[in-house]
Structure 1
Amino acid sequence: MELVIKNARVYHNHRFEDREVLIQNGTIAQVAPRVDAPAGYQVLDLGGKRLVPGFIDVHTHGGAGVDVNAATADQLNNTIGKFFASQGTTGWLASVLTDTPEQTLWCIEQIKQAKAQTGDHAQLLGVHLEGPFLASEYKGAMPEHLLQKGNAELFRRYAKAAEGSIKYMTVSPEVEGVPDMIRQIAGEVVVAIGHSGADYDTAMACIDAGAASATHTFNAMKLLHQHFPAIMGAVLETDVYCEAICDGRHLHPGTVRFLIKCKGLDRVVAITDSIMAAGLPDGNYKLGVNDVVVEDGDAKLASNGTRAGSTLTTGQALKNLVKFTGRPVEEVLPLLTENPADLLKMGNRKGRIRPGWDADLVVLDEDLTVIRTLVGGRTVFEKA
């Protein structure tokens, strides 16, 4: 796609500047005060609106009525991916909930096929395996009978089938075999720790072994005690990234502010942890093998009332971050853009508006509502 974007307030070097952007072959070629449009190039005039990097969601289980664990390649792109594009998401990981090896391999195959396709949808960047190496006491919505001990060989079986598509995996430090597994595979996949009641020393050992992130921090996690800092103390003290579900339910606004103050704006990754109910009314839904009831937008397991993912979108998460923190949008944008890109080791091509980076972009109005989404310089969503 050959395009020049004019009359834009471009998010550049963590502030908004009057800039024009030249896009060639899906890549940002130039960001400058003035760009001369070559002959034959399309021109997009933003009328002074804000242009920001596309949002990247590293942890989501679906949306628009489709659950990742049951989604075909077509549904991943043309239902979930289309809906995500309307919310400003340009790249996402499909989070596969703990399931049978057979179903997990089926999910991996669908994701691999979807990843290879282009169209009017957010780009599927790969797989997030949420389990099966998780602690039963903090399982949340994970089916307990499918949880397993740490097993690098099973991970490698999945990784071989995925052919490089597994980008991220959540494990629990206290599960037998997990610390050793992290040491073996940390060079092959970005490892997050969570769903865990691990003590401080065990969590620290896993971070030292290569764990780089904490899954939905504070949720499904043993909380801090002054004598027993536990996994929470370990992830707050170290430089690991911390996922945060900023929907106002999973985390109180004060907790979001506290997390940012502890970690800094460069180590918090805003996620949705959305389920198939995102974008839809209250009702009965699924999350993997679980029945979920959504009331007032709050998703809980039908069996015991445990919170089970969210109905949050990235577009709403941005508005919530501004509201919860009182910070200007330019300060919190990295939580949805460059931080997830850096966590996934894609920060050299995604998450920023720079020459050489992918032209994954979002246009925001004055209310921070998404009005246009571009993937590789191609408009994949435009607000009516």
Structure 2
Amino acid sequence: MLNDPSPEAGLLTLLRVGSIQAPEWLDANEILIAGGRIAALGRDLDVPAGWPVQVVEAPGLIAVPAFIDQHVHVTGGGGEGGCGSRCPEITAHAIAARGIGTVVGVLGTDGISRSPADLLAKVRGLRAEGIAAYMYTGSYRVPPPTLTGDLQRDLAWIPEIIGLGEIAISDHRSSQPRQDEIERLVSEVRVGAMLAGKRGICHFHVGDGARGLEPLRRLLSETEIPAEQVIPTHVNRHRNLLEEAADYALTFKACVDVTAFDDADDDDLSGFGAVTRLLQRGVPVEHITMSSDCNGSLPEFDAQGGYIGMRVAGNATLIADWQRLVQEQVLPIDQALGLISGNVARVLGLDGHKGRLAVGFDADMTLLDPTLTPQRTYVAGRCVYSCDLDAKGAPT
């Protein structure tokens, strides 16, 4: 699968590309990697003679921060139609082939046959394969399932856990949590995250229900919880919810997460359309992120909530919607990168070492061709996905 020699071939890697978006354009075309981090950026970088360096030539490609997908059912979602409707696990190859270097694993409807322990094992397995993987504790359910029996202990003692999610609200599959239960959960996560030195976000699944974002609006209006603690996702399920999400983001200076739905019947509700609409409503691009819901279920229900059927979500639409935002000039590439990289790193509390190409940051980068299609993905300086390149570093 990979063209690059193994990491043991050289203690240093010198990557030569056509251009670098960090996300801003840099007057540089070389990236020096040491110990999994970026050691230098520039042109004609000088590596002392005799030092063990591996040189990788890719002059036809653009280096950008590796993408971050904050909502992935890494163990598979589904289950709404019984055991035969469980979705499959995702592979490291399926992640890296889309230019994604970091994922956050979630449990969904099924917190019974799948557990936080399963999720942690999968996250650690992905890490062993080179993907930067994290997870949320909990699932749709309230009270949420945990690993230690306590939300604060999960956050404090398990490094891979960065928050709680996806807690379901405004959905017939949710536990219909009361307002005081929502407030207690978010408060518990906030304190646990403080003790652990983490951001500790609460990732809320928002369904089709008439209450929409009202539970979160009340949370931010009636308590001292800061808006950065709470991230609603799937806010582009329908037009009214998307409009409410715009008002929510503007009122509370909050972030909202758009899902790149595989099955969006209306282009205005696709990831592309939803981001475009939020921008038109005046929501700052810094307050918008996109995720895939990959390997989750796309179930269909009748008017009474009965299960009809489902498909399995993928992550190709996430990249396609992102490409379209740039290609149709909705956003310049530096701002568009924030939607699936820098903004996400900030939301998750990973922006001290991920989400941009800078000295000291993790050497997580995606190499794009001129059509913005990922050709190589590096995580901590290791090439975890590569298309074949010719002698000039261009895809064959």
Give TM-score, length-normalised by structure 1: 0.74
Aligned to 2:235: 217
| Residue number among 45, 65, 77 corresponding to 2:57 in the alignment | 45
Judged with a 3 Å threshold, the aligned counterparts in structure 2 of structure 1 residues 373 and 105 are, in CA distance, closer, same or farther, namely closer
Matched residue SS, 1:3: strand
Measured after TM superposition, the shift of residue 93 of structure 1 is 0.9
Judged with a 3 Å threshold, the aligned counterparts in structure 2 of structure 1 residues 315 and 351 are, in CA distance, closer, same or farther, namely same
Aligned to 2:98: 87
Say if 1:90 and 1:373, in contact at 8 Å, map to a contact too. Answer: yes
Query: Are positions 1:360 and 2:372 aligned together?
Result: no
Distance in 2, Cα, partners of 1:21 & 1:369: 20
| Residue number among 379, 382, 392 corresponding to 1:378 in the alignment | 382
Q: Which amino acid is the alignment partner of residue 311 of structure 1?
A: G
Query: Are positions 1:26 and 2:21 aligned together?
Result: no
Distance in 2, Cα, partners of 1:15 & 1:355: 15
Q: Specify every segment of 5 or more residues in structure 1 that has no aligned partner in the other structure, as ranges.
A: 134-147, 277-286, 288-298
Judged with a 3 Å threshold, the aligned counterparts in structure 2 of structure 1 residues 103 and 325 are, in CA distance, closer, same or farther, namely same
Query: Are positions 1:167 and 2:162 aligned together?
Result: yes
Say if 2:106 and 2:119, in contact at 8 Å, map to a contact too. Answer: no
Judged with a 3 Å threshold, the aligned counterparts in structure 2 of structure 1 residues 37 and 68 are, in CA distance, closer, same or farther, namely farther
Query: Are positions 1:199 and 2:199 aligned together?
Result: no
Q: What is the RMSD of the two structures over their aligned residues, measured on CA atoms?
A: 3.6
Aligned to 2:4: none
Aligned to 1:59: 71
Say if 2:72 and 2:104, in contact at 8 Å, map to a contact too. Answer: yes
Judged with a 3 Å threshold, the aligned counterparts in structure 2 of structure 1 residues 53 and 15 are, in CA distance, closer, same or farther, namely same
Judged with a 3 Å threshold, the aligned counterparts in structure 2 of structure 1 residues 157 and 238 are, in CA distance, closer, same or farther, namely closer
Q: Specify every segment of 5 or more residues in structure 2 that has no aligned partner in the other structure, as ranges.
A: 1-6, 80-87, 171-175, 194-199, 389-396
Query: Are positions 1:124 and 2:133 aligned together?
Result: yes
Distance in 2, Cα, partners of 1:237 & 1:308: 35
Matched residue SS, 2:241: coil
Measured after TM superposition, the shift of residue 114 of structure 1 is 2.2
Judged with a 3 Å threshold, the aligned counterparts in structure 2 of structure 1 residues 49 and 105 are, in CA distance, closer, same or farther, namely closer
Between Structure 1 and Structure 2, how many residues are aligned?
A: 334
Aligned to 2:337: 333
Distance in 1, Cα, partners of 2:22 & 2:188: 38
Say if 2:232 and 2:256, in contact at 8 Å, map to a contact too. Answer: yes
CA shift digits 1:276-306 (9 cap, x unpaired): 6xxxxxxxxxx4xxxxxxxxxxx43375458
Q: Which amino acid is the alignment partner of residue 156 of structure 1?
A: L
Say if 1:194 and 1:220, in contact at 8 Å, map to a contact too. Answer: no
Q: Which amino acid is the alignment partner of residue 166 of structure 2?
A: T
Judged with a 3 Å threshold, the aligned counterparts in structure 2 of structure 1 residues 308 and 192 are, in CA distance, closer, same or farther, namely farther
Aligned to 1:310: 313
Aligned to 2:323: 319
Measured after TM superposition, the shift of residue 101 of structure 1 is 5.7
Q: Which amino acid is the alignment partner of residue 19 of structure 1?
A: N
Say if 2:108 and 2:166, in contact at 8 Å, map to a contact too. Answer: no
